[in-house]
Structure 1
Amino acid sequence: PHVADIVPELTRTMITYGFSKNADIRATRVRQDAQRMHFNVRLPHRDDPLAITLNLPGRHNVLNALAAIAVGWELGVKGADMQQALSQFQGIGRRFNVHGEIDVAGVRALFVDDYGHHPTELAATIEAARNGWPKRRLVAVFQPHRFSRTRDLLDDFAAVLSGVDALILAEVYPAGEQPINGADGRSLARAIRSRGQVDPVFVNHPRECREVLPGLVHEDDLVLLLGAGDIGAVASEIYESGFEGGR
């Protein structure tokens, strides 16, 4: 809505994209099948829609694809070439990176690693997980990034993280910052707990989640490891060596 407000002030050539009927390039019939998104794209001066399959889950990735299509269309790229390119695109590191099914002390769970560390990113990733695997419980392991961000967005973090079924919350990754009173991991855990939807388990380092997860995970759960700190290395360690008492 904020971008739409400034549209009347723009004097350059403008192409809009999105889900709105008013968009020049519009996604329709959007559906999600686990990790893939399927949708049609309505393009200017083209009667038949362009059918797109995207190997990345979530409506936010549909919007990203529409942005690429808008640029390609403006540059004269053929629709078939854009279809092929998007169908072959496998994403980038730590953006809904599906590590596969892993044995957690006798039960199997799907592990996904994502760089998201802002409430808006977390919400989009959680929504993608819910829509793609609606029958699975969602277990999140989150490491906040920067004390200042945690302080400024504490309530937003608490709201979005209350939307999972189980949560392990690690201490804040400082990224060079000094601790801020009331903006550490325990403070965020208290804020989440006070909402009464999920009772987070606090750990000092995300690596400790390997000790906690066997007591939280149920068969066929989806485990999301989230954050921009060293939690990414933990995801790789879990995939490479699994859990004690597992396979």
Structure 2
Amino acid sequence: MQMPRETGPIHIMGIGGIGMSAIADILHAKGYTVQGSDQKESANVRRLRAKGLRVFVGHDPINLVGARYVVISTAIRKENAELQAARAKGLPIIRRAEMLAELMRLYSTVSVTGTHGKTTTTSLIAHIFTAAGVDPTVITGGIINDWGSNARLGNGPWMIVEADESDGTFIKLPSQIGVVTNIDPEHLDYFKTVDNMHREFEAFLRNIPFYGLAVACTDDPVVAQMLERLELRRDGRRLLTYGTSQGADLVLATARVEGHKTFFDAELGHAVRGGARALKGWMVPVPGQHNALNALAAIAAASEAGIPDETIKRALAEFSGVKRRFQLAGTWNGIAVYDDYGHHPVEIAAVLKAARNGARGRVFAVVEPHRYTRVRDLFQDFAQCFKDADGVIVAPLYSAGEPPIDGVNSKTLAEAIRAAGVPIVETV
């Protein structure tokens, strides 16, 4: 049974967020009446309005007039006046993951989670499935350049979803194919401890059904140790591993960056659908070994869905990228300027390594630190992650609504980066 189309207006609080806007997009495309509110105007708000959705700027109880259900994310605080009014009216309050899970129940599903690489990997899988004529429905955490959107309603049987781990609700998503890219300390404001975070990822893998497939990168030591503990294969569960180690089912044999492209070879083992084989001379038009690994995860998922190698290879080579994922923003006096959303030290280090490998000259980084709690919890990692840069400019810290923390600011971070050996470090 699915949610009836005649369901009254679904009101989405925080509708301008990257995840919530995608859910709104799909619900609207499937024929549901959708409205919402957000704190501010944004490109996502304008995009949804252009499609006919009613979107209010600012949270106010009056926005709820006519609403039948209210969808919220963890970004909506319990003291929010609009949320309090919804509860006073007795309106059903639905968590973001619960609504996403309702949509996913209608499809065979691929879910991609992990601390880094989720958006690119999800987008690669979505692009391959689309190029293969599978016509998937897609919800991802970034704007896919080909579509100008983070969501797509298809007519095929598959749904490709980026499973955001930030609030632990990703374990509620029904996943036929579940991909784990890596696991690093993150979102500790929610998880409280690293052990709690690891338990949630273990639950995600355990929840993949007996007829499904787990895909995981064993280059990540936390993932590798987790797989040893879970012993999925002992219990007859299907698992594909990928990485640079010869013990993986999909081995990244070589990878080299030329400009904005990464060329790679891979060896696929017998466990991969289609049997053991070598992939020679493949290319993905995003730089960095980490993106070659993302491509391997996409190859594993696409092979499982029965998509032939030649289609996968062609689709990877034609991938147009994701907005703000090492995206070429332009050039100035012969200097290439790239934009990347990465805000975790591991992501920053990977982007700078890719830039260093593809650069003909010096590499300078401009960083806007994101969240006081993240910078506090990972301060030493932030200090060390800029070593591939010749210089760093540190912008004022973006709070994302968090209160300031003593001693955590752009000045103290700049001092730590300078102490780590970066020759030029400035604040603005």
TM-score interval for Structure 1 and Structure 2 normalised by the shorter chain:
0.7 to 0.9
The match for 1:167 is 392
What amino acid does structure 2 have at the position aligned with 1:139?
A: F
**Native 8 Å contact 1:30 1:37 kept in 2:** yes
**Native 8 Å contact 2:255 2:264 kept in 1:** yes
What is the CA distance between 1:195 and its match in structure 2?
3.0
Aligned pair count reads 198
What amino acid does structure 2 have at the position aligned with 1:178?
A: P
Find the partner of 2:251 among 15, 26, 29.
Answer: 26
- Give % identity: 41
**Native 8 Å contact 1:192 1:199 kept in 2:** no
Distance, in Å, in 1 between the alignment partners of 2:383 and 2:391 is: 13
Are residue 60 (structure 1) and residue 290 (structure 2) matched?
A: yes
Are residue 142 (structure 1) and residue 372 (structure 2) matched?
A: no
Structure 2 portions without partners, runs of 5+: 1-220, 270-274
What amino acid does structure 1 have at the position aligned with 2:382?
A: F
Give 1:1-247 correspondences, 5 Å limit. 1-8=221-228, 9-10=231-232, 11=235, 12-44=237-269, 45-103=275-333, 108-133=334-359, 135-203=360-428
**Native 8 Å contact 1:31 1:39 kept in 2:** yes
What is the CA distance between 1:182 and its match in structure 2?
0.7
Q: Deviations over 1:163-211 (max 9, x none)?
A: 31111111100100111111111111122223343231111xxxxxxxx
Secondary structure in 2 aligned to 1:86?
Answer: helix
What amino acid does structure 1 have at the position aligned with 2:250?
A: I
Distance, in Å, in 2 between the alignment partners of 1:151 and 1:68 is: 34
Distance, in Å, in 2 between the alignment partners of 1:197 and 1:25 is: 36
What is the CA distance between 1:125 and its match in structure 2?
0.1
**Native 8 Å contact 1:162 1:198 kept in 2:** no
What amino acid does structure 2 have at the position aligned with 1:21?
A: Q
Distance, in Å, in 2 between the alignment partners of 1:109 and 1:29 is: 29
**Native 8 Å contact 2:263 2:284 kept in 1:** yes
- Higher mean Cα deviation, 44-53 or 109-118? 44-53
Distance 1:177 1:93, change over 3 A: same
The match for 1:244 is none
Distance, in Å, in 2 between the alignment partners of 1:193 and 1:87 is: 39
**Native 8 Å contact 1:142 1:169 kept in 2:** yes
Distance, in Å, in 1 between the alignment partners of 2:277 and 2:315 is: 22
The match for 2:23 is none
Distance, in Å, in 2 between the alignment partners of 1:48 and 1:196 is: 41
Higher relative contact order by CA 8 Å / sep ≥ 6: 1 or 2?
Answer: 1
What amino acid does structure 2 have at the position aligned with 1:109?
A: I
Distance, in Å, in 2 between the alignment partners of 1:76 and 1:50 is: 20
Q: Deviations over 1:3-56 (max 9, x none)?
A: 222334213111111111111112222211111011122223244434311000
Distance, in Å, in 2 between the alignment partners of 1:36 and 1:163 is: 19
Q: Deviations over 1:119-170 (max 9, x none)?
A: 000000000001111x310111111001111111111111112431111111
What amino acid does structure 2 have at the position aligned with 1:156?
A: D
Secondary structure in 2 aligned to 1:188?
Answer: helix
Secondary structure in 1 aligned to 2:389?
Answer: coil
Distance, in Å, in 2 between the alignment partners of 1:197 and 1:63 is: 28
Distance, in Å, in 2 between the alignment partners of 1:141 and 1:193 is: 14
The match for 2:40 is none
What amino acid does structure 2 have at the position aligned with 1:84?
A: R
**Native 8 Å contact 1:51 1:83 kept in 2:** no
Give me the CA root mean square deviation. 1.5
Structure 1 portions without partners, runs of 5+: 204-247
Secondary structure in 2 aligned to 1:49?
Answer: strand
Distance 1:197 1:51, change over 3 A: closer
